[in-house]
Amino acid sequence: MGDSGAKQPSCVSELSFGAALRPSRKPIYGDFVTLQPIKPEHAGDLFDVVGGSNLEHVALWDFMPVGPFISRQEFDGYIEQCAESLDPVFFAVLDKVSGKAIGNISLMRIDAPNRVIEVGHVMFSKILQRTRGATECFYLLARLVFEELGYRRYEWKCNNLNEPSKRAAQRLGFTFEGLFRQHMIVKGKNRDTAWFSVLDSEWPVMKRAFEAWLDHNNFDEQGNQRHALADLR
DSSP 104-139: EEEEEEEETTTTEEEEEEEEE-TTTTTSHHHHHHHH
**Whole-prediction pTM:** 0.92
Within 16-71, residue ranges assigned H as helices are 43-50, 55-59
Average pLDDT over residues 128-155: 98
Q: Determine the Cα–Cα distance for residues 196 and 193; give it in Å rounded to an integer.
A: 10
Write the pLDDT tens digit of every residue in 67-77: 999 999 999 99
For 28-232, CATH number? 3.40.630.30
- Is residue 10 within 8 A of residue 43, CB to CB? The reply is no
Residue type at 157 in one-letter notation: K
- Is residue 139 within 8 A of residue 210, CB to CB? The reply is yes
Write the pLDDT tens digit of every residue in 191-228: 999 999 999 999 999 999 999 999 999 999 999 999 99
